Structure 1
């Protein structure tokens, strides 16, 4: 009996040794580590920065290793053998734009992998505006006595769609000739504006710019009254009340002196919230179209708004008229834009596709506003938005000719009031990015 036990023990040890030997290579691969160097390669004109997160993921078991780059854009990992994917996504704020750098590559870390090898990730870049035109209210509303339209009280709302706080220093806005999309366009040659191939657009009559020191935190907005910055609801109940200390207004009475457009703003608006203007023609008011403006935001580079706008080398005259001056704004300076078409008319495109590839149709005189659509996927992905998003949006105008609504189905204003953080659509096309809202958001 003892001999049998000894024989059994001997056989067990032999089997164990054979098993361990057969698994040796597997265990060696599991615990053997190798140095992996990853270098980020940025597109031309973008500098390399440090502390960019790079993720190395084992494609077999999803084990991840995370580290950040040094000042040379290099990061070093010490990982077991295996097949990995190295990936990076960096968001960088430059002036009023966000730049998103992305890239990935596969790395096979085998026994023959050299520790001195360097794997390069070529990054691609996409640009998006940090500051967006969230809303344009331009068409006016019906007077209470039914006698016509009150056309003053136009406004815009700007929104910080990015994850960082943004300074509005150097932020300007303007409009393109002709004021209305159905008007004769003297820039048109061979079916397109002549400036389209010259990479600039004309800022008609004048520009407005913000005072220094205005900052907008992530997810915050700013209201700018274009004219009649008072409580207009006292006279016209369907209009807008601008008597709010947080609002801003285009009021530079030494430049634009028309008191019909520019009565003294409400005392609730501090004078530090007045924007400044530079004009190029003889108009007494910066008159934004009530039906179909081509409106845009821009930021001069390397000079102040006043320096740029007062440079005679940038000036031109629409249809040769000294009363209709404009300044040439480079396409690269444009932050955001909205091409608006007049409902029921033949319209001509004024903004080139590089700035706005689409348009949004507007019906004026009814109190409607042009409102930015919600980026549903990005909004739902935000941590903390659970339970705060209000859907089944019904504020559009699909029941009228050329009406529209937000395809996301999210009620942005109700969701914001419920504590949600909204990300708005930014596809470089007003067709995709805007809809016509039945009631301006400032009329809750």
Structure 2
């Protein structure tokens, strides 16, 4: 066997493998003998099928399979021994597809594989690199909205005589014909119409001041800003049907529901924060502000990571074997069209570049990711998932058992490993660059570009 590498440039190479009968015949003969022992063929006792008979019937198929296995093993070992960092997977040269062999157990074979090489580059983050880290402060509008929602969550339902803004109209909705009459056999549903979901101010105004048994004509597409999902929810129909709906609806009020906000008193404070922990409206507002800004800080951290990602891609410049990678993507995704490939390649290349940068940071920074790190991260993620369905947390021992089971799935374990690696990489970069801390209102933060 002879294996060699021809370097095309710094990013592309061809690996050539030459096989002689001495390289593949022992593997082929062994497989033929193994199959002869297992084969069940009429006219032969089990385990007594002659190897020559198996070779005559299945020899060429076995030969092809064993040569493919040999090539795969040889190529992988070569890349490992030569410490070649390749991108994607080696691709057989297209010219090899036109070569003709006798496949008579005596052929000499030559196979050529194109490989894409990872670029060489340096990562030199330092205190000279500066990125803004935002401390988000709650603006009055956001704070007022949060306080209102909390007070309503602990409030009580009333049934006023006349509807007002933010009320809920429990109504009958009936589809109308073009002449304004109720469409016989059309869409009809009894349900709740929330005024705070009506996006058109003129439509909302027509629904304020209504009493029980009042009727109005509702342009439902206008009312919900052509939001098919919301319209489907109100009418209890499929979203596709809601998107095509052109009819107006007759709305008949059956009841007006209003959620009154809870009073800002000690009973309310104790329900929220525990007995005696908050005793004044000022203290209540401080607690809510703290809670809101803590949630906002998660948004700030996401933006910081995104800014580090983009900054890194701009700072660390290198090329990729783009043409090879495009061929590899098409070879491994048969349904991928040329248009889809060209449209999505830039994002693929950016993510690949970041992966290479992150791997370089891990190596240069001697970042070690232990099983315990992965285990604790997975346990935290699972705990958050369980808490989304129940306020009562799982016992520590049971949560640990779930985590062990979760990580036994190789795909899930690899996913968690990559997430932990990303966190460690971001933490490392943050530790060596300069973070310019800046306070910003939430409304202004939302205007920043990612």
TM-score (norm 2): 0.18
If each structure's helix is expressed as a fraction of its own residues, which one has the higher value?
2
Structure with the bigger RCO (C-alpha within 8 Å, sep 6+) is 2
Instruction: Name whichever structure is richer in strand by fraction.
Output: 1
Q: What is the TM-score when the length of structure 1 is the normalising length?
A: 0.18
